[in-house]
């Protein structure tokens, strides 16, 4: 029996109990994981810094984000209304709610060794849903993965969590018949491979893959005239943050008559010091991407192995689909448009993205409602007068988007909706009250918010 098979069988066995834990007990476990990570925090941060060179301040912030995320999901399941309970007393009595899928495979990311890896949002949301988790560690930070996995294993029941390593083990995990869903953060090639493996199974399973984005930034004309220098400063900081190794890195800027803006941005990019990237393969892929762009468009600023700024016309951009590909690193492409219709055509031609940003002067966005309508079909998050990097851990956050940004544009990996990925709706028809879960009982003993039909009214009935 392989390590993957042992982990999958143990997770399936654990699901028989863990999948039906009440919200209070799951909340306690999630809070215990957060506390254990904090107790081990100094060791985790030291090892993570050795493996990634991300720096102590960044890693401290990431650990805090990771623990806050765990506690956010703890609060969600303790309150309980997330199950989306619906009660219909029509011709027949039908009651429905969300239930967990079963064991979930989570693939750790390279660029966030904590927040999107072993103890990250995919793990937190799957555990909150009631699903045991098997994490495939990322090879960029194996010791960090082991240490954080140990912290989790020390506080959860047997079989609820496991860590595996290796490419072949990851493939075997997705193929395993006891695994019911997959979460992945990484490249489009990696995400597509997992999607294809999962679809080829005798029982296909959902893959929730976040696969990258160029996160376009649209600078409207009045905003550029009024705040061009300010936007250039903010954009430079966003592009080069973390050596550009963020899935929300703004890799495309669309503006009109932007010569002064480009010069200001080019000066800042050219003065950006080099820093090590996460892995040699990421650094090599970045150099290849920069060289590819340089053969098609103008290179306005370049630091060997570091920041790069490219410029081109909207006509050239629209003629070269390869310019819409992600270059994972501290680079961006400024596309200059001639008129409104060309701006809208650039937006129409974009692939699915995690984010789009619009910089607008006061009242200017009202004149570009057509642009906003297009972007609503293209992205998961629209940022106004800000920058896409820095995904707030908040209940309403959406960190997802239409394919190929993600494999399922209806999902998010950040925010409390992330829990829904690992659930499915189940209905009870004409069931006696004693047979119903507490969330659907007539007296509503948990006091959760429920949708009552007919009328489609949200109502809370407290047990008295």
Q: Residue 317 in 3-state DSSP? A: helix
* 9 vs 7: CA distance, rounded Å: 6
Cα angle, residue 399 at apex, residues 394 and 400 outer, rounded to 5°? 150
Cis peptide before 404 (omega within 30 of 0): yes
Sheet with strand 161-164: strands edge to edge:
161-164, 133-136, 104-107, 181-185, 207-210
Q: How many helices (H) and strands (E) does the chain have?
A: 14, 17
Catalytic positions: 210, 247
Tokens of 147: 């240490």
Tokens of 308: 């790069």
CB-CB neighbours of 322 under 10 Å: 10
Q: Residue 217 in 3-state DSSP? A: strand
Torsion of CA 322, 326, 328, 331, to 10 degrees: 70
CB 15 within 8 A of CB 48: no
* 247 vs 406: CA distance, rounded Å: 11
For the chain, the 3-state helix, strand and coil shares in percent, each to the nearest 5, are 45, 20, 35
């Amino acid at each position: 029996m392989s390590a993957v098979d042992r982990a999958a069988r143990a997770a399936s066995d654990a699901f028989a109990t863990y999948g039906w834990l009440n919200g209070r007990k799951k909340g306690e476990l999630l809070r215990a994981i957060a506390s254990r990570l904090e107790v081990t925090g100094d060791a985790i941060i030291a090892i993570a810094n050795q493996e990634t060179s991300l720096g102590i301040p960044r890693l401290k912030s990431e650990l805090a984000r990771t623990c806050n995320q765990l506690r956010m999901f703890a609060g969600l399941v303790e309150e309980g209304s997330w199950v989306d309970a619906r009660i219909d007393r029509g011709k027949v009595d039908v009651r429905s709610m969300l239930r967990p899928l079963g064991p979930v495979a989570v693939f750790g990311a390279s660029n966030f060794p904590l927040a999107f890896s072993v103890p990250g949002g995919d793990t937190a949301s799957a555990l909150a849903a009631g699903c045991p988790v098997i994490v495939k560690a990322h090879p960029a930070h194996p010791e960090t993965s082991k240490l954080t996995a140990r912290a989790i294993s020390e506080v959860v029941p047997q079989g609820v969590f496991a860590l595996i390593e290796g490419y072949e083990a990851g493939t075997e995990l997705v193929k395993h018949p006891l695994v019911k869903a997959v979460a992945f953060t990484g490249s489009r090639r990696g995400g597509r491979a997992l999607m294809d493996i999962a679809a080829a199974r005798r029982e296909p399973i959902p893959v929730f893959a976040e696969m990258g984005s160029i996160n376009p930034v649209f600078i409207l004309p009045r905003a550029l005239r009024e705040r061009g220098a300010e936007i250039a400063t903010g954009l430079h900081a966003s592009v080069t943050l973390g050596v550009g190794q963020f899935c929300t890195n703004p890799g495309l800027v669309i503006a009109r008559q932007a010569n002064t803006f480009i010069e200001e941005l080019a000066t800042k990019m050219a003065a950006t010091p080099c820093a090590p990237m996460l892995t040699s393969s990421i650094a090599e892929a970045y150099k290849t991407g920069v060289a590819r762009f340089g053969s098609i468009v103008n290179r306005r600023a370049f630091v060997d192995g570091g920041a790069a700024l490219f410029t081109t016309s909207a006509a050239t951009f629209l003629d070269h689909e390869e310019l819409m590909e992600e270059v994972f690193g501290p680079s961006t492409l400024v596309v200059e448009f001639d008129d409104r219709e060309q701006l809208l055509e650039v937006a129409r031609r974009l692939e699915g993205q995690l984010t789009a940003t619009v910089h607008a002067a006061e009242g200017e966005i009202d004149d570009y409602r057509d642009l906003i309508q297009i972007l609503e079909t293209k992205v998961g998050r629209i940022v106004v007068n800000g920058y896409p990097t820095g995904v707030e851990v908040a209940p309403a956050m959406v960190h997802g988007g239409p394919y190929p940004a993600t494999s399922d544009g209806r999902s998010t990996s950040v925010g409390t909706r992330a829990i829904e990925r690992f659930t499915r709706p189940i209905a009870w028809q004409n069931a006696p009250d004693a047979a119903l879960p507490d969330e659907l009982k007539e007296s509503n003993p948990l006091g959760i918010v429920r949708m009552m039909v007919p009328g489609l009214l949200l109502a809370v009935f407290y047990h008295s």
